[in-house]
């Protein structure tokens, strides 16, 4: 049976800058959007919000669904990556709570698109999608007969 990894990512924008998290992978500093795996007992939107807080210390809810990417990593790991957008009025200070994240950066799209530090090509692709794609309502991703509490998105 095919079992891809399900991940979430947030393209966070403020003042024409995008929030990037930095972590060390195999001894190299790499950049990614705040992102991570879907955990048991949480919706995709809850996962995106949790990952944002864990990796940046920013508490904000996704505002729109941007894109679903089906991707196979160079090591042949299959992924389904649900990408969300969050537009903030200003660049917030960051405090990562995840020990894997060394720091966060607010960067321009050009700095990201031309970087050689991206964890995967999906980081740049997500920025391109943000710049050119429609955004979709979060209601597109409903949780059917969900047995767990779903907090208000404004909490």
The encoded tokens of residue 117 equal 């530090």
pLDDT mean values, one per 10 residues, the chain (155 residues): 94 98 94 96 94 98 97 93 98 96 98 96 97 93 78 52
The encoded tokens of residue 120 equal 């995967």
| CA-atom Rg of the chain in angstroms | 15
pTM above 0.85, yes or no: yes
Beta bridge partner(s), residue 68: 82
pLDDT at position 81 is: 97
pLDDT at position 154 is: 44
pLDDT at position 155 is: 44
Half-sphere exposure of 124 (CA within 13 A, CB side): 13
CATH number, domain 7-139, options 3.90.79.10, 3.40.50.1820, 3.90.1150.10, 3.40.50.1000: 3.90.79.10
Tell me, rounded to whole angstroms, the distance of Cα 34 from its chain centroid.
4
pLDDT at position 148 is: 76
Where are the chain's structural domains? 7-139
């Amino acid at each position: 049976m095919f079992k891809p990894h399900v991940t979430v990512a947030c393209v966070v924008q403020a003042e024409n800058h995008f929030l990037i998290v930095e972590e060390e992978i195999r001894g190299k500093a790499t950049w990614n959007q705040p992102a991570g795996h879907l955990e048991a007992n949480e919706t995709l939107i809850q996962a995106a919000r949790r990952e944002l807080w864990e990796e940046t210390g920013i508490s904000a809810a996704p505002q729109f669904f941007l894109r679903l990417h089906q991707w196979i990593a160079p090591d042949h790991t299959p992924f389904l990556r649900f990408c969300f957008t969050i537009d903030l009025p200003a660049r917030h200070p960051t405090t990562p709570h995840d020990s894997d994240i060394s720091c966060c950066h607010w960067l321009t799209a050009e700095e990201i698109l031309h970087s050689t530090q991206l964890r995967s090509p999906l980081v740049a692709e997500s920025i391109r999608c943000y710049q050119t794609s429609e955004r979709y309502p979060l209601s597109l991703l409903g949780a059917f007969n969900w047995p767990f509490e779903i907090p208000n998105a404004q909490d």
